[in-house]
Amino acid sequence: MAEAVDAARTVILTVDDDPAVSRAVARDLRRRYGDRYRVVRAESGESALEALRELKLRGSHVAVLLADYRMPRMNGVEFLEQALDLFPGARRVLLTAYADTGAAIDAINVVDLDHYLLKPWAPPEEKLYPVVDDLLESWRVTDGKETPTTKVVGHRWSARSSQIREFLARNQVPYRWYSSDEPEGRRLLHAAGQDGLRLPLVVTPDGTALVEPEERELAGRVGLSTTPAADFYDLVIVGGGPAGLGSAVYGASEGLRTVLVEREAIGGQAGQSSRIENYLGFPDGVSGAQLTDRARRQAVKFGAELLTARQVTALEVRGAARVLRFSDGSEVSAHCVILATGVSYRQLDVPGVTELTGRGVYYGSALTEAPACQGQDVYIAGGANSAGQAAMFLARGAKSVTLVVRGSSPAASMSHYLLQRVMESPVISVRTDTVVEAVHGTEHLEKLTLRNTVSGETEIVEAQWMFVFIGAAPLTDWLDGTVLRDPHGSVLTGPDLSPDGRPPAGWTLDRPPYHLETSVPGVFAAGDVRAESAKRVASAVGEGAMAVMLVHRYLEQS
């Protein structure tokens, strides 16, 4: 059943088959929005669709749809998919339990899901209202009209198509994926005057067709900032992971003119995590995408600029200025710099990997590729937290997930709570003392050669999907000759610069380097890129905040 509708006001519709939950959602929505919006409550997908049809006939507007995922006969995703035909501009929210977050992430591409909320949403002032406020504002800006969506046409086993999809997904740009051999994909290719030989094709919201676009061009076309608004800042942050975002929030909130520069996607590796469960204040866990989105919005609220798809290639000291040079030759300068570039996934160096990367072999793309792994046998190379989180996420839909671990046990590198869940999963198996010796395939991955490091025996297994998490290394070659690094490339800071008590070579100040300061005064490092860092999200955020405190101290004494 559904409550009677009223066409006089724009509608917020909620549907949940549990009457108590349905009433609770409607009650909380009416308390906040009842004076401006008509809140309509339904207890099944069918009755909700009937209400929407009546609203459509009356000429009403629907701003937001909130649907529970687990409903009999028609689940929340199926309801939202049909509701799209009636009110394509309505913002869409899925209410889920923790166990259903995988389905919610999959729904992002199925129904252009705007948000998913974990139940319970109490207190609504913190968990429900901020989300609905943002969605209503977004709906008002577009006058309730359908928001144009980026469209990507490519080949399923094209490495470049995979890279473009991952770039959009990690930057939280909504897009629709079309295979080049399906009718809609062929229609888009024809409309763009393309024969499909050059892929991917990206059609931006304004209708521009881009063939094999570079990330920076694509970023600018889909609304991401790529160019700094000024030439000089108080603080430039290089890297958009937890440490960089922490620095951006604290720098901008404390009055520093702040710009953050990210090479790939805001959020860094943490933004790709399907579930972070040991971060303070999130007892039910939080996805990397959710944490990243909140931090990004927080930084922007305080006035920080966030630039995407800009690669920094050099750091120079010019008097009191610290100058960063981009790959295109342009520059940006600041009083201080915080290096928060984190680390990048270490590449698997075995025969066949280079040719099949993006065509069955992936680094950190479990979220993007998960829908295609439904009912498949998946292999994951690695035994640390990133591998364990990916295994748990993929296990929700895959037929089987096999962790290939070099050591005798993943216990040495995987958090205890996560290892327990991995070992308890009926879908996940762990092969210890094993490495990937080679990968095989023509157009895509077909087989793996696995070698037991104890017996030396090898085995060839069928495989179409392998995700690689075999460690990470800092990408700091661009700092060569400027700041001191350890043999692994990590940036040395504070006491690690002068273990014998003497200042580092070239140090010109009459004080020792601050705790997070590099061998160049006014240049700081935070997070995973820093030598001897804790390699945890919480510590990276803390170091980002601490670095800003030291920036203030440096500026006061300069």
What does CATH list as the number for 11-141? 3.40.50.2300
Domain ranges of the chain: 11-141, 150-217, 232-343+474-557, 353-470
User: Token digits for 127?
Assistant: 């968990």
Can 11-141 and 232-343+474-557 be said to share one CATH topology?
no
Name the class of domain 353-470: alpha beta
Residue 171 contacts residue 219 (beta carbons within 8 Å)? yes
Question: Between helices 129-141 and 19-33, what is the axis angle to 10°?
Answer: 60
Contact by Cβ (8 Å): 270, 538: no
Torsions phi, psi for 105 (to 5 deg): -65, -40
Crossing angle (nearest 10°) for helices 416-424 and 385-394: 30
Residue 18: CB atoms within 10 A of its CB come to: 14
Among 377, 379, 391, 383, smallest CA distance to 421 is for 391
The neighbour count for residue 447, using CB atoms within 10 Å, is: 15
Rounded Cα gap, residues 189 and 187, in angstroms: 5
If one counts every other C-beta atom within 10 angstroms of the C-beta of residue 347, the result is 13
User: How many residues in the chain?
Assistant: 558
CA distance linking residue 322 with residue 291, whole number of Å: 30
β-bridge partners, 305? 259
Q: For 318, left (φ over 0), alpha (ψ -120 to 50), or beta?
A: beta
User: Across 319-427, where does the E strand assignment appear?
Assistant: 321-326, 331-339, 344-345, 361-362, 377-381, 400-404
Which CATH code, of 3.90.78.10, 3.10.20.30, 3.30.910.20, 3.50.50.60, is assigned to 232-343+474-557?
3.50.50.60
Note the Cα 30 to chain centre separation in Å: 33
At the topology level, CATH places domain 150-217 in: Glutaredoxin (3.40.30)
Task: From residue 268, give the alpha-carbon distance in Å to each of 137, 307, 415.
Answer: 28, 13, 20
Q: What is the pLDDT along the chain (558 residues), one digit of tens a residue?
A: 555 444 357 999 999 999 999 999 999 999 999 999 999 999 999 999 999 988 887 878 999 999 998 888 898 888 998 888 888 889 999 888 755 555 656 555 556 778 888 878 888 898 899 889 989 988 887 655 555 689 999 998 899 999 999 999 889 888 889 999 998 899 899 988 998 889 999 999 888 999 999 999 999 999 999 999 999 999 999 999 999 999 999 999 999 999 999 999 999 888 888 778 888 887 777 788 888 988 999 999 999 999 999 999 999 999 999 999 999 999 999 999 999 999 988 999 999 999 999 999 999 877 788 888 989 999 999 999 999 999 998 998 899 999 999 999 999 899 999 999 999 999 999 999 999 999 999 999 999 999 999 999 999 999 999 999 998 899 899 999 999 999 999 999 999 998 777 888 889 899 999 999 999 999 999 999 999 999 889 999 999 999 999 999 999 987
pTM: 0.76
Give me 436's structure tokens: 């990937």
